[in-house]
């Protein structure tokens, strides 16, 4: 089979290797599609000892001993090989497992290949009425966004307005998720005019990032947004989120940052009674309900996709993605790039 090798400094080659063999409790998948993600930057820059690709849709073609997966079934590959024993797993937060066995695509081979082996518990079956690429979009784009809404209570009690900071694929997923739950006003803040235009097509009011971004936000919502979803991971944006959210409001941080956030607890949190929450990956138990939102037509994750590439053009796909002139970019190892 073919797989992508990340050498660092943006150099990617496609090499031929033997097909992997599933062991006990594992499935062998034909990879259908893989999504590009901002967290791939480290592999792009520094290289990777494993095959990246952590947003993967696949079809079962073989199974190891002790598995029950149906041959030919299509599904999503859950990123986290969770332990099932830690306090987070037991509380229904397996996406934030404390003793994970592996992170598929980061420390174990991922989806930028013709085939991949996954633990059976990480295979989430897709309803056959949905297009196969939906299995990719139910992961980081909408799964992570919907989990953030659950974390802050907006899934059950949507706020009248919200601000999404960062209009990359995750931010676009947040806009779609908020719209699915009837949030009346959604502001999207980003420095990229291209991505703001995409957010506008999904129902968001664009706010151009820069020195007067706060002025624009307060012109639209004088007291500030009651909910802010920070999806960029930009340190300055994370600080700005804390300043912009309305008194009594909530901030949910979805984007990881290498820089610590400075918080004056008395001024920033106690006096205005603002809340800060972190939100990681979703739990597999959320997957059926998320699928149903798509089936019911409340959520259209395919609207976030702007480009599709074959595996042989993976390097070009990343160049476009890093330019900021795209939404979600998908790669199809079998070359069938038509949606």
Q: Tell me: the pLDDT tens digits for 23-42?
A: 999 999 999 999 999 999 99
The b/e string for 289-315 (b: 16+ C-beta within 10 A; e otherwise) is ebbebbeeeebbbbbbbbbbbebebbb
**Check: CATH 3.40.50.300 for 2-138+299-332?**
no
Average pLDDT over residues 149-174: 96
What does the pLDDT read at residue 337?
Answer: 65
Give the separation between CA 126 and CA 78, rounded to whole angstroms.
12
CATH 3.90.180.10 domain residues, the chain? 2-138+299-332
The Cβ of residue 25 has, within 10 Å, a number of other Cβ atoms equal to 13
- H helices of the chain, in order, are 41-46, 87-90, 134-137, 143-152, 169-180, 193-201, 213-220, 235-244, 287-295, 314-323
CATH 3.40.50.720 domain residues, the chain? 143-278
Give the separation between CA 320 and CA 329, rounded to whole angstroms.
9
CATH of domain 143-278: 3.40.50.720
pLDDT band at 202 (very low <50, low <70, confident <90, very high): very high
pTM of the model: 0.94
What does the pLDDT read at residue 335?
Answer: 74
Burial of 120 (0-12, 13-18, 19+ CB in 10 A): middle
Give the separation between CA 12 and CA 33, rounded to whole angstroms.
18
- Give which of 135, 101, 132, 133 is closest to 118, Cα–Cα: 101
- Give which of 231, 235, 137, 141 is closest to 190, Cα–Cα: 231
**Is residue 339 scored above 70 in pLDDT?**
no
Average pLDDT over residues 225-244: 96
């Amino acid at each position: 089979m073919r797989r992508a090798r990340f050498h660092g400094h943006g150099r990617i080659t496609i090499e031929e290797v033997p097909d992997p063999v599933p062991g006990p409790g594992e499935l062998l998948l034909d990879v259908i599609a893989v999504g590009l993600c901002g967290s791939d930057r480290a592999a792009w820059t520094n290289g990777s000892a494993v095959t990246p690709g952590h947003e993967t849709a696949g079809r079962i073609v073989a199974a190891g001993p002790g598995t029950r997966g149906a041959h030919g079934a299509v599904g999503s590959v859950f990123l986290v090989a969770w332990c099932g024993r830690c306090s987070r797993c037991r509380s229904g937060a397996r996406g934030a497992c404390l003793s994970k066995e592996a992170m598929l695509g980061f420390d174990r081979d991922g989806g930028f290949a013709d085939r991949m082996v996954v633990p059976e518990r990480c295979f989430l079956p897709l309803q056959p009425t949905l297009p196969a690429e939906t299995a990719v979009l139910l992961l980081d784009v909408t799964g992570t966004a919907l989990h953030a809404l659950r974390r802050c209570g907006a899934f059950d009690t949507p706020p009248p307005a919200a601000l999404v900071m960062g209009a990359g694929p995750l931010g676009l997923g947040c806009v779609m998720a908020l719209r699915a739950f009837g949030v009346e006003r959604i502001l999207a803040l980003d420095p990229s005019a291209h991505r703001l235009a995409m957010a506008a097509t999904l129902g968001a009011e664009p706010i151009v990032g820069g020195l007067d971004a706060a002025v624009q936000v307060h012109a639209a919502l004088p007291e500030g947004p009651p909910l802010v979803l920070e999806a960029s991971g930009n340190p300055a944006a994370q600080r700005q989120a804390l300043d912009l959210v309305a008194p009594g409001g909530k901030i949910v941080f979805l984007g990881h940052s290498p820089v610590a956030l400075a918080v004056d607890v008395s001024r920033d949190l106690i006096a205005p009674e603002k809340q800060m929450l972190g939100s990681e990956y979703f739990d597999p138990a959320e997957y059926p309900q998320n699928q149903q939102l798509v089936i019911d037509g409340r959520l259209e994750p395919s609207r976030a996709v702007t480009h599709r590439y074959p595996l042989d053009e993976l390097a070009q796909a990343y160049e476009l993605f890093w330019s900021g002139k795209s939404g979600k970019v998908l790669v199809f190892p079998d070359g069938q790039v038509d949606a």
